[in-house]
Chain A
Amino acid sequence: MTAVSDVSSHAMARARWRPAEIAFWVLAASCAFLFPSRYLIMTDIIRLALFTLSLDLILGYAGIVSLGHAAFFGVGAYSAGLMALHGIINEPVIALVVAGLIAMALGFLTSFLVIRGVDLTRLMVTLGIALLLEALGERFSNITGGTDGLQGIEMQPILGLFAFDMFGKTGFFYSLIVLFLLFLLARRIVNSPFGLSLRAIKNNPLRASAIGVPVNRRLIAIYTVAAFYAGIAGALFTQTTALASLDVFAFEKSADLMLVLVIGGTGYLYGGLIGAVVFKMLQEVFQTITPQYWLFWIGLVLVVIVLVGRDRMHRWALWLPNLVIRQVTGRKAVVTVPESEAP
């Protein structure tokens, strides 16, 4: 082992595929054959994972705290729904990309509002945009279907070959493939020099601009990309459930999303994926215990996570896997604690 000397070799070393990552994806794919009766919930997890990945890009890598990320999810969901409903674009894959692009356009336009001001203003503006869209959706209920949502969406077969079936098998594989492809893209982005500059901005915007990183342009770029991801997640939601209603914009959705990301850990891509799995399981458990009051337990989880400290929690969670890795391979653990949040 040679010591990593400069930034580029360090970055290259970080970007290399590790056995644990390959194992993760093999495991994810094999879930399809392990639990053939639970396609619907697994699809749900994948959608959530993609949505969380999107938040991780702006929160974990660029440090933008957003309370209204559901806005892009909602725009993606409604675009896909409306396109399918009115037969504008029937082919799901193209519709998916177009829905993502529409969300991306909105993300680009709103990014100029978001990069202005400090954390609190950002919170307000992101929250305000989501609420604004919700109000708009209610206002134009003749288009959006109001609180009832879009009715009677019928999806065409994917690429004209694979029809959506009632058990959700097609939907599951479709979502998994989309997630994997977008994950590869995100992995490429965060390990590129662009991704490194984002981290620099997150750690200290002033210093980043002093070493020549165009802070605002980088933030606009990553915000736009994240909006694209969220739009795709929303479109997947509509396509796999044939549903789109106004609560896609709800504040609870954005808040839940933060919880998912925090459970998984911010600042590394698998955080969103792991968080989505854990969150859905927690939700299932709480909903079976107290169907009506599960919000209380979700709140309690949030409070406990913050009070215990996110870093400490992740160290505990990683203690066992790291121990196993050390014992088996006899080298330093590869699964590391995600970068800590500077106050």
Chain B
Amino acid sequence: MTTLFTILFDGVAYGMLLFVLACGLAVTLGLMNFVNLAHGAFAMTGGYICAVLVNNSGWPFFAALPLAFVSAAAIGVALERTLYRHLYTRSHLDQVLFTIGLTFMSVAAVDYIMGSSRIFIKLPAALEGQFDFFGVGIGRYRLMIIVICGLLTVALQLILAKTRFGSRLRAAVDDPRAASGLGINVPQVFAFTFAFGCGLAGLGGALSAEILGLDPYFPLKFMIYFLIVVTVGGSSSITGPFLASLLLGIGDVAGKYYVPKMGPFVIYTIMIVILIWRPNGLFGRTAAR
């Protein structure tokens, strides 16, 4: 029974992490119908920046996290303004090719600058080890991830539901043409959201170094996971991707624990079955445009 709870706990932590990593992608896809396979590259950037700051410059971990967010967001907005925006009207094939190209470049560039081995971020002593909670082993680091990601999720939901920007964003996702007809500056909304999504990915990358492992091949290894979150969850709300990430996180951890020999087999099978059953995602409302 306690192992069940431990798996559940680890799975939730993993799922929350995946959600923070992937929710930016949901917006890119839902708002601009843009297939961004390079999303993992922003996560990796954030992770490496955090690692350099903590390990080499001696920054405290919690000070480096916001900077990982800001720098990934800055790179994101720079790329969005210079390169990405030319591709919104192009075919999906062009978008796929372009973002695969970016991913390859980021992989090789990070390999060149930082070396190809996996890197670790020095954690403060308070986050190491685990404690017992009614017999269930709770990792401190994972607990912190659940707290941070949980707060972020609530904040995102509030921004989306309560603020003026949130309602503009929702309008633009529902129908970009009608939204711009109503005077909403869709490209601007999109640039903000894109930067924010990249920032979240950067933050997620910094947090995930301990759990997922951070090496130059991160964007390629986890691309499929991000895409699963988005396609299974649908891109019309953030509740969909959130539930999909939790499902994926728990499923992956449980699958690795109970049937370790099957490896990632379980996840891919579940994904394909879900996509056949509901091609627009489990929680998708409308057909993708």
Contacts and interface: CB of A to CB of B under 8 A. Distances in A.
A65 B35 CA distance: 12
Max chain A CB contacts within 10 Å: which of B111, B228, B275? B275
Contacts of A298: 101, 104
A296 B108 contact: yes
B35 A136 contact: no
Nearest to A131: B268
Nearest to A254: B100
B68 interface: no
A120 B229 CA distance: 13
A120 B30 CA distance: 11
Contact of B91 (A295, A305, A307, A341): A341
B29 interface: yes
Contacts, number: 140
B98 A124 contact: no
A165 B288 CA distance: 54
Nearest to B268: A132
B109 A65 contact: no
B97 interface: yes
B92 interface: yes
Interface stretch (B140-148, B159-167, B196-204, B258-266): B258-266
A293 B112 contact: yes
Contacts of B126: none
A117 B107 CA distance: 31
Nearest to A266: B93
User: Which of the four size classes fits the interface of chain A?
Assistant: 35 or more
Interface in B264-289: 264-265, 268-269, 271-272, 275-276, 279-280, 287-288
Contact residues of B: prevailing secondary structure? helix
A102 to B, nearest CB: 20
A262 B97 contact: yes
Interface string A15-26: 000000000000
Nearest to B33: A120
Contacts of A128: 224, 268, 271-272, 275
Given A119-B92, A296-B108, A307-B86, A132 B272 contact: yes
A343 interface: yes
A255 B98 CA distance: 11
B75 to A, nearest CB: 15
A59 B91 contact: no
Interface of A: 59, 65, 67, 113, 116-121, 123-125, 127-129, 131-132, 135-136, 138-139, 251-252, 255, 258-259, 262, 266, 292-303, 305-307, 310, 341-343
